[in-house]
Amino acid sequence: MKPIVFALSVLSVLFLTCKNESRATNSASEDQKTSISDTLQLTLNNDEKWLVNAETHEGVKNMNAHIKQFNSRRSENYQELGLKLSKQTSYIIKNCTMTGNPHDQLHVVLVPMLDEISVLRESNNLISCKKAVTNLEDLIQAYFKHFNL
């Protein structure tokens, strides 16, 4: 129950603070042969990366750094990692100034990130947490392939 409440509250904040009412969401496949980023309906802007505001880019870069540090330490404190990543997504959401297609495309990658962070914060299942970290790494790489300052 807690993961659902957390996810709903984060999504509510996300949708209330963002400037554009149109939302792009997608369901991620649990197929182990397919990366979560392969299931996204993420596109480029006429073969160019979408432009994001500096705070969004900074937040995702910080998330990437937290995950790399977590992996290098071989930590298994997934809840702590989830809290660190949650702070970054809150920062991104609070400072959201994007509108239109770039904003919609950001949601395609950000919403699944929020779901994976919920797993880290709320689950005690080691396998689920490891999978969530892998999915987050894939989602962050998808972000960097499709977005830039």
Predicted confidence (pLDDT) per residue in 22-60, tens digit: 333 333 334 445 778 788 899 999 999 999 999 999 999
Residue 70: predicted pLDDT: 98
Mean pLDDT value across residues 98-112: 96
At 24 the three-state DSSP class reads coil
The label of the residue with tokens 């939302």 reads: 23
Residue 39: predicted pLDDT: 80
Q: Is the pLDDT of residue 99 over 90?
A: yes
